[in-house]
Amino acid sequence: MAFKDGELARAARNPRWRIAAAAGVVAIAAVAAFGGFRRAEKGVLAKPPLAAGQRVDAGALAITPLQAWVDDRTPFGLRTGRPEQYLMLRARVENLTDTGYSAYSYLSSDLVLFTDPIGGTPPGLVPEAPPPPGQPQTMKASSLSLAGDRSFDVAILPRLPVVVDLAWKLPSDRKVPAKLVWGVFGREHTEQTYLTREAGWLKANGKARWELAVEDRRASGAPL
């Protein structure tokens, strides 16, 4: 689609366009810096494993995983009567930026589950580009809610730590290992992005990984 005179300037001032542009810059920066997203993910796996309760400053966010479990209840805390299985991660999150505008999307994008130990990405959650053989495969959470009231209205405001539950829906018959690995990508602040000409936080290198025990909270108490 071609822009007419003046339309490009107006689009550049549109907040939604700026968000899309910033997302594009994030992708370009990550690929350029690490030779592709898969290489960045391998960089995460090269980090020494951390345990539950260990805080990591990832630039825009500080993340402290608290516990992980597998449950047959939905993220709302309900049992539907259908065979369901959710992998849950509870974490304390601190917004280290000066605004709450993008913190939610940063968390959703930057904190990932390494899915290889559970047989790859579950059906219905296939990544945009499956990794080549021997490359790690990751999956973003399918939902994000507050740990206290399970509300999906999550606001991650500057300097106000919040405890959240991230959920990954798995096939009901998928065997979940007793330990799993989560990783986080860092972000670096720039005073001026290439497209928006404004300050922003760009996704950078793999920052850390955690190896966490997975508790079984399913009603059946099926072995992990």
Q: How many CA atoms lie within 13 A of 131 on its CB side?
A: 19
Residue 199 is predicted with a pLDDT of 72
- 175 versus 31: which is more confidently predicted? 175
Residue 199 placed within a domain: yes
Which pLDDT tens digit goes with each residue over 99-139?
Answer: 988 999 999 999 999 987 665 554 444 444 555 555 678 89
**Pairing between strand 200-216 and 49-50?**
parallel
H helix or E strand, kind and range, residue 24: helix 15-34
- 125 versus 74: which is more confidently predicted? 74
CB atoms within 10 A of CB 7: 11
Residue 221 placed within a domain: no
Which pLDDT tens digit goes with each residue over 175-198?
Answer: 889 999 999 999 998 876 666 666
Contact criterion met (CB below 8 Å) for 150 and 75: yes
pTM over 0.75: no
Query: Residue by residue, what is the 3-state secondary structure of 84-149?
Result: CEEEEEEEEEEECCCCCCCHHHHHHHHEEEECHHHCCCCCCCCCCCCCCCCCCCEEECCEEEECCC
Residues in the chain: 224
Residue 138 is predicted with a pLDDT of 86
Residue 56 placed within a domain: yes
Query: Residue by residue, what is the 3-state secondary structure of 154-206?
Result: CCCCECCCEEEEEEEEECCCCCCCCEEEEEEEEEEEECCCCCCCCCEEEEEEE
Total of domains in the chain: 1
Residue 49 placed within a domain: yes
Query: Is the predicted pLDDT of residue 75 greater than 90, yes or no?
Result: no
Contact criterion met (CB below 8 Å) for 86 and 75: yes
Residue 20 is predicted with a pLDDT of 45
Look up the domain containing 149 and give its range.
7-216
Query: Is the predicted pLDDT of residue 27 greater than 80, yes or no?
Result: no
Residue 57 placed within a domain: yes
Mean pLDDT of 166-170: 93
CB atoms within 10 A of CB 168: 24
Paired strand residues for 166: 89, 144
Which pLDDT tens digit goes with each residue over 195-217?
Answer: 666 678 888 888 999 999 999 99
Q: Integer distance in angstroms from the first to the last C-alpha of the chain?
A: 52
Query: pLDDT band for position 24 (50/70/90)?
Result: very low
CB atoms within 10 A of CB 107: 25
| CA-based nearest residue to 172, from 85, 72, 75, 82 | 85
